Amino acid sequence: MSVYSRLIRAIADRECTRICRATIRHLQSLQGDRVLLSGPDSGLKNVWDEICVQQQGQESFFWQAYLDTITPHIAHAVAQLRRPEQEAIWLQTPEASAWEVEQDTDPDSVPVCLDDITRYILDHYVLHVANDYRNSRIESFMQQLSSE
């Protein structure tokens, strides 16, 4: 991997990690019976807890609602990035890999698709963290699921 590729990857990772952390904080701020789909007796405190349970266990009927909650937050953050950071992240996506294969020469510009970037951050950062995230509420909920 060239020095330029490592630099681009580091910039992309820094921005993706920052957006991921902000997204998690936002999801943790969504609390209360009116926003939680798991029910008041679940023991889960916020939407982030619910998403982690979904990732670590089994997706519920409400999974699309969770995605519809996460995605706009990421998309808004991506839209706020400067073009070079958007390009750096987009170059990490599968769509960019396909685009690079088609290039005969060095391109003058990088085509950026904000939806591709949003999906990349969702899949490779936010949901990846949710898959491994633990706290006592999640552990307790997962134990209840396994004993049913």
Q: Which two tokens stand for residue 76?
A: 């808004």
Q: pTM for this structure?
A: 0.91
Residue range of the domain that includes 10: 3-147
pLDDT, position 106: 61
Q: How many domains does the chain have?
A: 1
What residue spans of 30-62 are helical by DSSP H? Answer: 47-56
Per DSSP, the chain holds a count of helices (H) and strands (E) of: 8, 0
Q: Per residue in 59-109, pLDDT tens?
A: 889 999 999 999 999 999 999 999 999 999 999 999 988 887 666 556 677
Q: What distance, in Å, lies between the first and last C-alpha atoms of the chain?
A: 49
Q: Per residue in 31-42, pLDDT tens?
A: 988 888 988 889
